[in-house]
Amino acid sequence: MSDTKCSKSVASYFTYAIGFTVVGLGLSAWLGWETHHTVGGMFNILFIASVLAVLEISLSFDNAIVNANKLRTMTPEWQHRFLTWGILIAVFGMRIVFPLAIVVVAADLGPIEALRLASNDPHRYAEIIEGAGLSISAFGGTFLMMVALDFFCDDEKHVHWLGGIERMVSRVSGAKFLTVAIVLGVVALIAGTFEGREAFTFLTASVWGLLTFLVVDVVSDYLEGDASTATAQVGLSGFLYLEVLDASFSFDGVIGAFALTQNLYVIAIGLGIGAMFVRSMTILLVDRGTLTEYRFLEHGAFYSILVLSLIMFTHVHLHVPEVVTGLIGAALIGASFYSSLRYKRLHG
């Protein structure tokens, strides 16, 4: 860590996020006034955008920790690209283009027609999004479960939070095949609870989630190569991995946002504010070497990802409130943080 990074205040890491928040809340207030033409309506939209931002931050803190672990291996140039290019993809890609793409496919509309539907008939738009929930939960749950299990089933992993279990799993030969087998077993069990078309939809989306993880993993390994591989390739592989991972984390927040509002623009603003803070938090964790200092924090994040994947699978039959998801993630990360502090006191 450089002296410059050490001298930076914590607040300085959130300069862009705070600026984005001011602009975003200003736009929310304007949307509220233009929609309702009342002060009460304006403050209602402003409140919803604020709640969505807090929701996104609470759901994505584990994402920030995982991102920071990957960013540690990337150059400052690629770290900056992740904070700039990545936030454009996160806000405009996942919070605007992704919901529109769902409507385009599900309702067989053109992009312009889907945008008009979002503006003129938000309730119908929300219904179409909710109708695609089975595929989204299957894809996201499968991908995130692969991410979590791949971390624990790693024979090069030497730091273990829950020692007995993690040590045993990490020593399994051919761990990659073990993770695939576990995930396919879970998918098969859940698919058995459906019949006909729904079972086919769930299985298809799950297979695509599994294939996406494997393709990203293979491409990352290829780009990283050996020690002679160009720095740009290593940075690109990490960037691609982080963007796909961020997209998977976004599924739950985007779908959950429609429970608060059907306004696509308010959702984009609220979740975008949260995404900006998560990005800034990620850079802070990298610069301050937090993951090195608190050795079990990363483990808590991956346990949280595993729980999130199970919750996404649960969503195919039962809605789990987003606040419950956020609290479970916070509890796991808090427990890992406490264990890290305890380890530091005992071992220095």
Global model pTM greater than 0.85: no
For residue 283, give its domain range: 10-347
Spatial CB neighbours of 234, under 8 Å, sequence gap ≥ 6: 73, 74, 223, 224
Residue 234 domain flag: yes
pLDDT score at 203: 93
Q: What is the pLDDT of residues 203-250, one digit of tens each?
A: 998 998 898 888 877 776 665 554 445 555 566 777 777 777 777 667
Contact 260, 52 (CB under 8 A): yes
Look up residue 23 and give its amino acid.
V
First to last CA, the chain: 20
Residue 77 domain flag: yes
Can you tell me the distance from the alpha carbon of 306 to that of 133, in angstroms, rounded to the nearest whole number? 19
**Which stretches of the chain score pLDDT less than 50?**
1-2, 226-228
Spatial CB neighbours of 265, under 8 Å, sequence gap ≥ 6: 27, 31
pLDDT score at 202: 92
Residue 5 domain flag: no
pLDDT score at 1: 46
Residue 152 domain flag: yes
Please state the separation of Cα 232 from the chain's center in Å.
24
Residue 1 domain flag: no
Q: Which residue has the tokens 């982080």?
A: 242
Q: Per the structure, how many domains does the chain have?
A: 1
